Amino acid sequence: MDTTTIGHTPLEPCSYLSDRHQCNILIKKEYHNLNKTSKDRPAWHMIQQAIKSGKLKPGYTIVEASSGNTGIGIAQIAQQLGYPCCIFVTKDCAREKLALLRQLGAQIFICDNSNGIDDLLSSQFQAAHYAANNPSCFFTDQYNNPQNPLAHYLTTGPEIWDQSHGKVSHFFAGIGTGGTISGIGQYLKSKNNTIQICGIEPHGSILQYYKEHGSAPPKTSTMDKIDGIGRRFIPGTFAPNHIDNILQVSRQETISCAHDYYEATGTLLGFSSAAVLVGLEQYLQQDNPHPPQDMVLLFADYGDRYLNSLYPSLKEKQVQYDKL
């Protein structure tokens, strides 16, 4: 398999955001990966390590619980390497993602929610149960597999450091499994501990509380639906000690920010990328002891996978996509 199409994504300045916020803002464009998502990196690392360790043998079926993008990465790699795969998604998975999973030959199971292994109706429980009760299966388990954050520690973090010439002062990313921000945060902190690592999650997610208190909240509230980020359980791949701030944003603010960005730049942001912009606005409005200098925003995927849910007015129109 040609893995040169995974990683080595560009880090480019954004004049619109830089002018608006009066500091240097750069975008890590993860939609330049093979399947236009940052999730290609851990998908490849999880499968590669499983093959090397002998846990994934020829003829085995790869199983995963995913909001879509990790599943797409796994389905693409599985298809190219000759493995069947089963992807467990929630009932509100984006239609565009479901269509692509089917196109890649994945067997899809629709689950009620993504509330973690303790919920019998969740995609995580259903995937783990399927893998445990069917012979010749390997459960990649992105929420607990150390190859998830390690993929970003080994690749995305060094890319950002090198591409910014070591000048990065802040890094922003959405938090879903926690693998992306934990791996990148660990690497950047190892190079310069003063770099501020800022995570973004929806209102109602529990990771901000967990970072502040070291435990899950005694009770939970309704969580805003922002594709790809937010959790109602603590993933094993989430390492809050590598993160300085976690900011919570609303779905409506995220939608508004996505449309404003498209109007200004002609670029369709994915849901989590637009949420990062809302978090950036919040951060810059605070009285923060760490002044912004070179701020890196991770755009995890592109907006053409959310035309129905995020850009319905553009669905029937010819939209101008970012040049890949």
**What pLDDT, in 10s, does the model give residues 78-108?**
999 999 999 999 999 999 999 999 999 999 9
Alpha-carbon distance 40 to 44, whole Å? 6
Instruction: Given the residues 39, 97, 123, 182, select the one marked as catalytic.
Output: 39
**pLDDT of 246 strictly over 60:** yes
pLDDT band with cut points at 50, 70 and 90 for residue 316: low
pLDDT band with cut points at 50, 70 and 90 for residue 290: confident
The better pLDDT of the pair 154, 290 is held by 154
Alpha-carbon distance 207 to 201, whole Å? 8
Active site residue 39: yes
What pLDDT sits at residue 322? Answer: 44
**pLDDT of 324 strictly over 70:** no
What pLDDT sits at residue 1? Answer: 60
What mean pLDDT is predicted for residues 35-52? 96
